[in-house]
Amino acid sequence: MRHHKLFYGICLICSLLAACVSKDSYEELEATLSDTRAQLEQKTNQLDILKTTLKQFEDNLGQSEENRKKLQQEFLELQAQSNELEKTNQQLTQHLKGLGVELEKKDSLVSQRENIIKQYDESKRTLEAKLKELGNQIGQREQKIKRQEDALAALDNTKRQIETSIHYLESQLESREARIKEQERMINDLQSTKGQIETNLKKK
Q: Which tens digit of pLDDT belongs to each residue from 74-84?
A: 878 888 887 88
Q: Is residue 79 part of a domain?
A: yes
Q: How far is CA 84 from the centre of its chain?
A: 51
Q: Is residue 167 part of a domain?
A: no
Q: Is residue 164 part of a domain?
A: no
Q: Is residue 33 part of a domain?
A: yes
d(CA 21, CA 28): 11
Q: Is residue 86 part of a domain?
A: yes
> For position 88, what pLDDT does the model report?
81
CB atoms within 10 A of CB 84: 19
Domain count, the chain: 1
User: pLDDT band for position 177 (50/70/90)?
Assistant: confident
d(CA 138, CA 65): 106
Q: Report how far apart, in Å, the C-alpha atoms of 79 and of each of 48, 55, 85, 160 are.
A: 10, 16, 10, 118
Q: Is residue 81 part of a domain?
A: yes
Q: Is residue 191 part of a domain?
A: no
Between these two residues, 10 and 26, which has the higher pLDDT value? 26
Q: Which residues contact 33 (CB under 8 A, 6 or more apart)?
A: 89, 92, 93, 96
- Does pLDDT of 139 surpass 80? yes
Q: Is residue 19 part of a domain?
A: yes
pTM: 0.34
Domain range enclosing 95: 2-140
What residue type is 97 in one-letter code? K
Instruction: Give per-residue pLDDT as tens, 106-116.
Output: 878 888 888 88
User: pLDDT band for position 61 (50/70/90)?
Assistant: low
> For position 185, what pLDDT does the model report?
83
d(CA 190, CA 198): 12
